[in-house]
Amino acid sequence: MVQDMDSGPTLRPIATRPRMPSSTGDAVPAALPTSPAADRTPKVGHLNLDDSPAGTTAAAGSSSSSSTPWGRLFTSTSHMMGFSPRLSVGASSSSEGSSNISTPVRRKKHHHQEAQRGSILAYPAGSAAARARGTSAAGLGPAGEMLGKQGLALKQPLETSQEEYADTGVKARIPRDERPVTKHWNPVGLVICLFYIAAAIYYFVIRATRTLDMGYPGYGGLVLAIEVISSTATFGYAVLLIKHTHSKRTKGLPISKKGAFPPNLEQLQFHVRVLIPCYKEATDLVKETVLGALKAPLPKDTLRTVYLCDDGKDPSKEAMVRELNKEWGCLEYVSGRTRDPKGETNGKSNNLSHCLTKVIYKDYYPCNPQGPKIPKTEVMVVFDADMVARPNFFTKILEVMQDDDCALCLTPQGFNNVDAQCDIFNNLNLSFWEYMLPGTDALGYIACTGTNFCLRCYPLADCGWFPTFTITEDYCLGMLMKAKGYKAGYLNEYLAVGEAPEEVRNVFRQRSRWCKGQMQVLFSKHCPLFDTGLTLGMRLLYTSVTWNYITNSLAVPCSVLVPFIALFFGIYPLVLNRNFALASTLYYTASTMVTMYCTDRKHLKPLWFCIVSCHLLWFTFTKAVFNVLFKKMVGRVVVFKSTKKKGEDDGRGDGKRRWFAPPRNIGDMEGTLDAWVLLLSFSISALTAIMGVFQIIDQPYTAQGQFRFFLALSIFWALYNMIPPALFIFYCYNKGRLFEDFCSFCITASFLLGIGGTVCTWLVPDDYNMGQVLSVSLQFFEAQRSGKLPRISNTPWRGDSGLWDSVLLPNGKNYSLIGGWYDDGGMLKLSYSTAFTVSMLSWAYYEFKGGYKAASSVDFGANTIRWGADYLMKAAALNVTSGGVAVPPIFVAQVGDMTKDTAYWGSPERCMLARPATYLSSARPGTDVMAMSAAALAAAAVAIQDESMEVADMYLAEAMGIYKLALQWPKGYYANYVESGKRYPSVSMYDDLAYAAAWLYTATGQQSYLDSAVKFYGQHTSAERHVSANLYMFNYENVVPALDLLLYKATGDQAYKQNVQGFVKEWMNTHSASGDVYYTPRGLAKAEPEGLLQHTANAAFYTLLAAKDVLDKKKFMLYACWARGQIGYMVGDAGHSYVTGYGASQAHKTPHKAASCPPADVADCTWESAYYTTDPNYHTLRGGLVGGPDDSDMWSDDRDMGNAANTVGLLNSAGFSAAVAGLVQFDINMAKCMQGNGLIQTLMLKSTGLPPASGQRWWQGM
C-alpha cells in the first residue's frame, strides 16, 4: 500500500505502465494533476538529450507524440518481458558526485500509433493523467524519487509514522512447503561428520599419549599443535554436511505478458535497483553485464533501474550508457566520486555506498534525517562488471525475496571459463557453492559474496550501508546483518555467469584480497568472536571462515618440511606404532570422506582440486595475514586491489626487457614471491624423495633384517606434496588436453600415495612397551620361587615346594632352608647365582627406581629382591645356638643333588627326592660365594631402605657378618667343595671381596670398606686377572667392570673411568680390536667364548649405568640406544623373542620342569608326557631369558637340557631385568634412537669409515 498525502510525501516511481488506447479509439486516462514543481525547468548542468523543450506536459488524449520526455510512450519490443522505465538526465550539483541520466530520443512510431501495449509512460506529478488514475504525488510511491530530482516531488517533514522501515503493508510470509528453498537433514553427511569427530578424537588422544615420546617433545608438540589447528578447518566443513538447503528449481515468478497493464503502484512488489560497479574494466565487458541486467525479464508489478557506478570516470562507458538509454531508458551513469589519493581500503564498497547515499537514497532516511524511510519494496541487486545475468535471474531471485523475512538472497557465481577437469584454482568455487553455502544457510548463516545477490535496501541502510573498513565488504555485511537479527536465503541456482581469473597473478591477487579483508574483520572491533549480537554458534561459524586461512598457512609448510627434516636431519616428530597406525588410518579415511563428499560423482575431481588450490595458496594467505597485522601495528591502510578483468590494463607492464619470458599462463609476477615459493616447495619435496630413495638403496634393511618402512613413509609423503606444485608448474605452461591428462594422473597418484603411506604405518614394527617387559621379567623370578608361596601370584600354576629343605648342623640339628629360587629349569638352589642375581636386581632398583615406578612395579621389584635376600640370610647360619651353645657358623652353598635332580623330570610341587644341603665352613672355605653374598645383602640394604629401614638394617648387619667371616676363614674357592661348582666354576675371589667391600662402603660410607675395596681390586689385578677368560664379560665370575664403576663414583680416580670407557667401547664397537666381543649379522653383540645373551644383557645394564654417571652426557643417547638395540634384539627385533611368555615368536619348549608338567588332576608328569613331547610347555613361563642364538642368528626351540641356547636361569634374567629397568627409567625407545639418523649422518659416517650406530647424533660428532 502507499502512503496518504497527509502522512508525508514519498518519492514517486520512475515509471508506470498504463494500458494505452488502441488505434481503434480507446479512451485515454485523464491527465494527472500538476504539482507545484511540475513546470520547473531543468537545473543548470542537467543533460537533456531530447529535442523537445524540457518541463512541458503532454495534453491528455493527444494523438501525437508528447513533447516532454515524461509523457512519451515507448513501443520497443525489448520491454515486452518487463518494466524498464526511461528517465531524464539530472546532473547533481553536489560536490559528492554527479548523476547523469540519459533521456530517450524520439523514436519511430509503429503502425502510425502514438502508443502501443507494452510501452512505458512516466507521468509528471500532479498531472491530469495522474489525477485520472486516482494517484497523487505522494501516492506514486517510493519508486519515483528520480522525478524528485527534477523537482517533481514535494518535500515535507518526516512523520512519526515513517520511523519503521517496514511501515507499509502487512508482512508477507510464505508457508514452508511453498518456499522455493527448503531445509533438509543430510543423513549421510551426519554419519560422516560423527565418524570424523570420533576418528579425530581417537587420533589426537593417541598422538598425545602414544607418539610424542621421541626425544624432542618441543618439536613433536609443535607438529601436533599444527595438526590440531588444521583439523578445525575440516571439522567446520564436516559440520556443514549435516544439514543443507535445497532449491526446488521452480519456474520463478510469472512475468508480465505482452501488452499487460503497467504495475499497479498500490500493489507494487519490488523496485529493483541494479548496481554495476566498475573501475578499469573494458567497456565491451561492462556492456555485456549491463545488457544482461536490462534484458532479463521482470516479474509482474516490478520496476527496474540500472546504475553503472563507474569509479574510473571512463568517457567510453558514459557514452555507452547514453547509447543504451536510447533504447532502454532505465539506465543511469553514476560517477564523480572523489577517491582518496592515499588509497582506499575498499574502493568497490565506497563506490556502491556513494551511489546509494548520494544518488538513489540521498533524500531518504538515514541519508536525510528528515526524509522518509526506505520501504520494503526497495531491493537492490549487485553485479560485478563481468557478471552477466541469465534471463531468469530476477524471476528466480525475487521469488525468494517475496518472503518479507528474507533480507538477502544470494546466488552462486557461474564461470564460463572454469574447466572442472583441469582448473587447479577456481574449482574451489564448486565446494563453496555446492556444499559449504547450503550448509551454512541451513544453519542460519548470512552469506554475501559481493555479486549476484539481491538485498532489501532498508536492512542495508540499517547496517550503515556497505562496510568500508574492510576489503571484503560482502563477508562483513553478512555478519552485521546477522548480528542485527536479519534473515537470508541461499538460492543454489546459477543465475549469472562471469569469468574467473585465469592468470596466476590475478588468482593470487584475488585470494590475497579475500584473506586480507577477512583478517581486517578478525583484528578489528567487529571481530565475530566478540560480537554480542551473534550467538555462540554464529560467532564460531563466522570466525571459522577467517580461521581457515590461518590453518592453511600453518598446515601446508608443516606438511612439506616434516618429511624433509626427517630424512635430511634425521629428526622425527612422532613415534610410529600400531596405535598410531590404527588412529591415522581411521583419521585419514574420515578426513577423505569429509573433503571428498559429493552428491555427484562428477564433483570428485573438482573437489580434489580444492585441496590442491589450498596447497598452492598457503604462501599467499600467509603474506596476507602478516600484511594486515603489520599495517595495523604501524597504522597504515590496506589498499584495495581489484582483480584484473579481460581487456583491462592494470599498469604493471612497463615494457622492460626480462631475462626470460614468463610462462604464458602466469601473467606478470614481478615483485611477488608466490610462484617462487611454490617452485621451492616442489624442490624441497623432490629433494626429500631423492634422499629417501638414496637411503633405502644404501641400507634397505635394519641390522635385524627389517625393511626400513619409515623411510618409505617419508618418501610417499614427499611425493604427495610434490603433486600440487607440479600441477602449478605444468599449468603455467600448458592448460590443454595434455594438462587435463596430467591432472587425471595426479589425482590417481595422490590417492595411491595416501594409501601407500597408510600401509607403511602398519608395516613399521611396533615398539615395545618396556614397562610391560620389566613386569614380565620379574614374573620369572616369581615362577622360580621355592617354599611357601603367597596366595596372590602372577604364576598361579606354581604351588608350595621344597618345604623340607634344611641343613644338618654340626651339632646334629636341622636348620630350615625354606625359600629361595630354583636356579634354572630344575630344582637346585644355588647361593652363588642367587647372590649375583640379588646384587644385580638391587643395583637396578637403586639406580633406576623411576623405571619401576613408571612400570607400576615398585612393590613387585622390592618383593623380588627381598625373596632372594631373605634366602641368603638363611643360607648364612652365623649366629645359631642350640641348647645355649653357639653352633659354629656355616654358609649353605647348595640345596639339592645335581645327579638326582638331572635324572628326575617332574614338578617341584610333587618331588619326593631327598634334597641334601651343601655348606661351607672354616674347614671348607668358599671366599668367593660368601663375598658375593655379602655384596648382595649390602646392595639389597641400599635398595630397599626407602621401603623398610628395619629390613635394610637387618640385611646390612648380615652382610657385614658374612664379609667379616669371609675374611677370617682361609681363602678358598667354593667349587672345590660344592657340586654346582662344575656348572658355575670360579677362578677368582679378590674381585668378589672388593665387590662386597665396595657395596658395604656404599651402604655405610665407612672409609675402611673403600680402602679394602681398593686393596682387593689391586690384588685381583696382580694375581687373578690373567685367569679371566674374557675381561669384557661381566658376570658372576668377573665383577671387575662393576668395581671400576663403583670405585670411580667413590674415588673419582680417572683410571677407573678409563676402564669403564674401555669396557663400553669394546662392546659398542662392531669391529672389536681384541676380538673378545663380536657381532652377529643381525646386530647382536656377543662375548667370547660362550656368547650367551646373559653377557649381552649384563653389558647393556652396565652401559646404562655408565652413561648415567660416568660417560660423556652429550652422547648419552648413543649409549642408551645401543643398550636399547641389544635388549630389542632379545625381545623380538630379529624375528624371535628370546624372552619366554613375551612376543609373537617366543620359546615355548624351554626345559623347565614346573612349566612343562600339567597339574596332578590332569595328567602325570613324566619324561614321556612332559619332556619328550613336541607340544609346548603346559604352562606359560613368563620373563625367562634363554641362552640365545648362535653366531649366525640361528636358534631352535627344543626341550633339550643340554641346549644352553634354550635354557633359562637366574643369571640369564638378572641383567636383562636390570637393563630393562634402565630403559624404562630413561624412557628409551627406537623413535628416540632414530633421531639424528638422516642423510647428513649417513654421509658423515661414510666419510669417516664408521658403521652406523643407533642413537648416533651427527651434531654431537662421530
CA 867 distance to own-chain centroid: 51
> Does the pLDDT value for residue 1044 go beyond 80?
yes
Q: Which residue has the higher pLDDT, 259 or 1030?
A: 1030
> Does the pLDDT value for residue 264 go beyond 80?
no
**Distance between CA atoms of 1262 and 1252, rounded to whole angstroms?**
10
Q: pLDDT by residue (tens digit) across 356-400?
A: 999 999 999 999 888 899 988 899 999 999 999 999 999 999 999
Alpha-helical segments (H) within 661-736? 674-698, 709-733
Cell 624372552 belongs to which residue? 1139
Q: Which residue has the higher pLDDT, 298 or 144?
A: 298
> Does the pLDDT value for residue 1249 go beyond 90?
no
Q: pLDDT by residue (tens digit) across 102-158?
A: 333 333 333 333 333 222 223 233 333 333 333 333 333 333 333 233 332 323 333
Q: Judge whether 879 lies within some domain.
A: yes
Q: pLDDT by residue (tens digit) across 639-662?
A: 666 666 555 554 444 444 444 456
**Distance between CA atoms of 674 and 463, rounded to whole angstroms?**
37
Q: Judge whether 805 lies within some domain.
A: yes
CA distances to 195, 425, 748 from 604, rounded to whole Å, are 20, 15, 12
Boundaries of domain holding 866: 771-1131
Q: pLDDT by residue (tens digit) across 546-584?
A: 999 999 999 999 999 999 999 998 888 988 888 999 999
Element of type H or E holding 799: none
Q: Judge whether 455 lies within some domain.
A: no
- β-strands 388-389, 453-456 pairing: unpaired
Q: Which residues pair with 892 in a beta bridge?
A: 919
Q: Which of 134, 127, 141 is nearest to 7 (CA)?
A: 141
Instruction: Collect all residues with Cβ–Cβ distance below 8 Å to 702 and sequence separation of at least 6.
Output: 708, 1083, 1133
Average pLDDT over residues 1172-1193: 93
Q: pLDDT by residue (tens digit) across 797-835?
A: 999 999 999 998 877 788 899 999 999 999 999 999 999
The pLDDT value recorded for residue 1097 is 97
Q: Would you give the end-to-end CA distance of the chain in angstroms?
A: 91
Q: pLDDT by residue (tens digit) across 164-187?
A: 333 334 556 667 667 788 899 999
In total, how many domains does the chain have? 1
> Does the pLDDT value for residue 249 go beyond 50?
yes
What CATH number does residue 1027 fall under? 1.50.10.10
The pLDDT value recorded for residue 886 is 81
Q: Judge whether 694 lies within some domain.
A: no
Instruction: Collect all residues with Cβ–Cβ distance below 8 Å to 76 and sequence separation of at least 6.
Output: 107, 119, 327, 328
Residue count (the chain): 1262
Q: Judge whether 1215 lies within some domain.
A: no
Q: Which residue has the higher pLDDT, 160 or 870?
A: 870
**Grid coordinates in use for 391?**
534471463
Q: Which of 110, 184, 946, 106 is nearest to 492 (CA)?
A: 184
- Provide the CB-side half-sphere exposure for 364 (13 A, CA): 27
Alpha-helical segments (H) within 1005-1039? 1007-1023
> Does the pLDDT value for residue 60 go beyond 60?
no
**CA dihedral of residues 321, 322, 325, 326 (deg, nearest 10):** -150
Cβ of 233: how many Cβ atoms within 10 Å? Answer: 19
Residue 407 has phi, psi (to 5 degrees) of -90, -20
**Distance between CA atoms of 855 and 1224, rounded to whole angstroms?**
7
Amino acid in position 204: F
Cell 642408551 belongs to which residue? 1120
The pLDDT value recorded for residue 664 is 64
Beta strands in 491-567 (DSSP E): 496-498
> Does the pLDDT value for residue 599 go beyond 80?
yes
**Distance between CA atoms of 241 and 186, rounded to whole angstroms?**
7
**CA dihedral of residues 840, 843, 849, 853 (deg, nearest 10):** 20
136 in Cβ contact with 359 (< 8 Å): no
The pLDDT value recorded for residue 631 is 86
Q: In 3-state terms, what secondary structure has residue 658?
A: coil
Q: Which of 762, 767, 692 is nearest to 1237 (CA)?
A: 692
Q: Which residue has the higher pLDDT, 1051 or 1091?
A: 1051
**Distance between CA atoms of 242 and 196, rounded to whole angstroms?**
12
DSSP states along 746-758? HHHHHHHHHHHHH
Look at 41-50, 195-204, 501-510, 921-930 and tell me which has the smallest mean pLDDT: 41-50
On average, the pLDDT of the chain sits at 81
pLDDT band for 703, please (50, 70, 90 cuts): low
140 in Cβ contact with 4 (< 8 Å): no
DSSP states along 459-483? HHHHTTSS--SSS-HHHHHHHHHHH
Q: Judge whether 1112 lies within some domain.
A: yes
The pLDDT value recorded for residue 668 is 60
Is the CA virtual torsion 1102, 1106, 1111, 1114 positive or negative? Answer: positive
Q: In 3-state terms, what secondary structure has residue 610?
A: helix
pLDDT > 70: percent of the chain = 81
**Distance between CA atoms of 517 and 476, rounded to whole angstroms?**
9
Amino acid in position 443: L
Q: Judge whether 75 lies within some domain.
A: no
Q: Which of 857, 763, 761, 850 is nearest to 206 (CA)?
A: 761
**Distance between CA atoms of 649 and 837, rounded to whole angstroms?**
88
The pLDDT value recorded for residue 1260 is 53
Average pLDDT over residues 274-298: 92
Alpha-helical segments (H) within 161-306? 187-210, 217-239, 283-295
Helix 858-875 vs helix 770-783: crossing angle, to nearest 10: 30
Counting Cβ atoms within 10 Å, is residue 1008 exposed (0-12), middle (13-18) or buried (19+)? Answer: exposed
The pLDDT value recorded for residue 685 is 96
Look at 789-793, 972-976, 1154-1158 and tell me which has the smallest mean pLDDT: 789-793
Average pLDDT over residues 31-44: 33
Q: Judge whether 599 lies within some domain.
A: no
104 in Cβ contact with 69 (< 8 Å): yes
Cβ of 497: how many Cβ atoms within 10 Å? Answer: 17
> Does the pLDDT value for residue 509 go beyond 90?
no
**Distance between CA atoms of 996 and 1015, rounded to whole angstroms?**
12
- β-strands 885-886, 302-310 pairing: unpaired
The pLDDT value recorded for residue 286 is 93
User: Helix, strand, coil: what percent of the chain each, to 5?
Assistant: 45, 10, 45
> Does the pLDDT value for residue 26 go beyond 60?
no
Q: Which residues pair with 829 in a beta bridge?
A: 895
Look at 627-631, 744-748, 1148-1152 and tell me which has the smallest mean pLDDT: 627-631
pLDDT band for 24, please (50, 70, 90 cuts): very low
1109 in Cβ contact with 1047 (< 8 Å): no
261 in Cβ contact with 368 (< 8 Å): no
Average pLDDT over residues 238-242: 94
306 in Cβ contact with 289 (< 8 Å): no
DSSP state of 982: G
Q: Which of 605, 902, 903 is nearest to 745 (CA)?
A: 605
The pLDDT value recorded for residue 671 is 57
If phi > 0 it is left, if psi is from -120 to 50 it is alpha, else beta; for residue 1198 that is beta
- Provide the CB-side half-sphere exposure for 58 (13 A, CA): 25
Cβ of 703: how many Cβ atoms within 10 Å? Answer: 20
Q: Which residue has the higher pLDDT, 56 or 934?
A: 934
CA 165 distance to own-chain centroid: 48
612 in Cβ contact with 727 (< 8 Å): yes
Q: Which residues pair with 382 in a beta bridge?
A: 275, 453
pLDDT > 90: percent of the chain = 54
**Distance between CA atoms of 719 and 688, rounded to whole angstroms?**
8
Residue 1044 has phi, psi (to 5 degrees) of -55, -40
The pLDDT value recorded for residue 1 is 33
Q: pLDDT by residue (tens digit) across 461-506?
A: 999 999 988 888 899 999 999 999 999 999 999 999 988 887 888 8
DSSP state of 642: P
CA distances to 32, 181, 569, 939, 1155 from 959, rounded to whole Å, are 127, 91, 52, 9, 34
**Distance between CA atoms of 873 and 959, rounded to whole angstroms?**
9
Q: pLDDT by residue (tens digit) across 69-92?
A: 323 222 233 332 333 333 333 333
If phi > 0 it is left, if psi is from -120 to 50 it is alpha, else beta; for residue 751 that is alpha
